[in-house]
Amino acid sequence: MRILLLSQYFDPEPLPRGLMFARDLVKQGHEVEVLTGFPNYPGGKIYPGYGVRFIQRELIEGIKITRVPLFPSHDASAFHRGLNYLSFAVTAAIMGPWVVQKPDVIHAYYGNATIGLPAWVIGAVLRAPIVLDIQDLWPDSITASGILPRRFQFLVPVVEGWCQLVYRWAAKIAVLSPGFKRELMARGVPEAKLQVIPNWCDETQIQPGPLRTEEECLLEGRFNVVMAGTMGTVQGLDVVLDAALMLTEFEPKVQFVLVGGGVERPHLEARATSLGLNNVLFLPRRPVEEIGALLYRADALLVHLKDDPLFAITIPSRIQAYLAVGRPILCGVRGNASELVQQAGAGVCFEPDNSSALAEAVTALCHLSLEARSKMGERGRQFYRDKLSVPVGTQAFIKLFEQARL
């Protein structure tokens, strides 16, 4: 098959369906082409070595990548974020049919609903079926994140109507969790159109390695609870600071290590300073290939999302990375995410937005023997290999692509 990967995001930006997915499809004997934007996620600034221009073509490992212009932004401004999404959608829709070869199938990475526009235009002009890969439910994600100001709430039913059109245009829809499937069926999407395909991580990039000397000193002698990734509003990380304050008194060995950037990081750092916390360590964002050293050095890995109904049916992508690394997981996400961790036997789940519950979960892990924690991590690693790894997911997508062409 000739497969077009249509995504606003692509390597070197971190995402589940990037170069690794393209590479594995090629390995399975398929021809792959990518239409994407200029890399700027998650920092909102164009990556070094790139600059927004009319068009840029690359060839990586025999995979043709075409980049079209967009407005780079990923800050807290709803206007800027909207420009970011819409600018790529418009340029990809206008230029897409003329800069890519006719595909047999279009894989549209649905990180935001605007991807539906170029998917529909390219699919209509080149007569190719669309497989939507839904990573976020819209408009739920923008209302839950709080990024949409009150004065723009009138747009919510407009977005809902747009999403219904996009679902209708798709030949098949991949969703990352059973909860997403149930929700889309409740919105009128036929069950026969839906397939659950969980995300994976780039296990080739997340490898153990030496820590920077100064970081090794900061981690030495502590029980390190590491959370790596975006620090945004939906992560609700004030709960970590509250739990850290409690643990200062009765578990002084515990240290929370927050790695990455995001709109909430300045607030979290300022609050940690005001509380006088000496058991919360902030480390800068780093490339995927360097994050493995920290994850493998952790005693436990933390994932947390605000207690919102939307997050009960999602599975944060960092869970797959945590499972692959083979370290115990502290999961503060209701629903499908907690069910996955429990199914794997890979960690301890706690009530989100509850600092006491987090402190108790950390204490429980801290008091387990090293052998018990190691077994917990190994169960997670084996579960990832058997159920969630790249080859498993790629095979599922190939079957879905074949069904879409019928």
DSSP 303-320: EE--S-GGGGG---THHH
Domain co-membership, 72 together with 166: yes
Domain co-membership, 227 together with 325: yes
Q: Using CA atoms, how far apart are residues 49 and 34, in angstroms rounded to an integer? A: 19
Domain co-membership, 253 together with 196: no
pLDDT value for 315: 92
395-404 per-position pLDDT tens digit: 999 999 999 9
How many CB atoms sit inside 10 A of residue 205's CB? 15
Number of domains comprising the chain? 2
For the chain, give the percent of residues with pLDDT over 70: 98
Domain co-membership, 176 together with 231: no
| pLDDT winner (highest mean) among 69-73, 155-159, 337-341 | 337-341
pLDDT value for 126: 97
Domain co-membership, 94 together with 223: no
How many CB atoms sit inside 10 A of residue 193's CB? 17
pLDDT value for 152: 67
Domain co-membership, 84 together with 181: yes
Domain co-membership, 192 together with 296: no
Domain co-membership, 241 together with 269: yes
252-303 per-position pLDDT tens digit: 999 999 999 988 999 999 999 999 999 999 999 887 778 889 999 999 999 9
pLDDT higher than 80, residue 142: no
Domain co-membership, 8 together with 130: yes
Domain co-membership, 111 together with 224: no
pLDDT value for 147: 67
pLDDT value for 267: 97
Q: In this predicted model, which residue has the larger pLDDT, 92 or 148? A: 92
pLDDT value for 310: 82
Give, in order, the Cα–Cα distances in Å from 346 to each of 130, 270, 311, 338.
36, 33, 20, 10
Q: What CATH number should be reported for the domain holding residue 136? A: 3.40.50.2000
248: domain range? Answer: 213-387
Mean pLDDT value of segment 131-145: 84
pLDDT value for 328: 98
pLDDT value for 266: 95
Give 317's DSSP letter: T
Structure tokens at 3: 């497969």
Instruction: Please state the φ and ψ torsions of residue 316, each to the nearest 5 degrees.
Output: -55, 135
Residue 394 within a domain: yes
350-378 per-position pLDDT tens digit: 999 999 999 999 999 999 999 999 999 99
pLDDT higher than 70, residue 385: yes
Q: Using CA atoms, how far apart are residues 328 and 337, in angstroms rounded to an integer? A: 14
218-265 per-position pLDDT tens digit: 899 999 999 998 898 899 999 999 999 999 988 999 999 999 998 899
Residue 349 within a domain: yes
pLDDT value for 73: 87
Residue 379 within a domain: yes
Residue 206 within a domain: no
Residue 93 within a domain: yes
Mean pLDDT value of segment 28-54: 92
Residue 339 within a domain: yes
Structure tokens at 153: 């709430």
Domain co-membership, 182 together with 36: yes
- Where does the pLDDT of residue 74 fall: very low under 50, low under 70, confident under 90, or very high at 90 and above? confident
341-354 per-position pLDDT tens digit: 999 999 999 999 99
Mean pLDDT (the chain) is: 92
176-230 per-position pLDDT tens digit: 999 999 999 999 999 999 999 999 988 887 888 887 777 888 899 999 999 998 8
Of 81-95, 146-160, 319-333, 347-361, the poorest mean pLDDT is in 146-160
5-19 per-position pLDDT tens digit: 999 999 998 887 899
For the chain, give the percent of residues with pLDDT over 90: 73
**pTM of structure:** 0.83
Mean pLDDT value of segment 159-175: 95
Q: Using CA atoms, how far apart are residues 287 and 167, in angstroms rounded to an integer? A: 34
Domain co-membership, 382 together with 397: no
* Whether the Cβ atoms of residue 226 and residue 322 lie closer than 8 Å to each other: no
Residue 205 within a domain: no
Residue 382 within a domain: yes
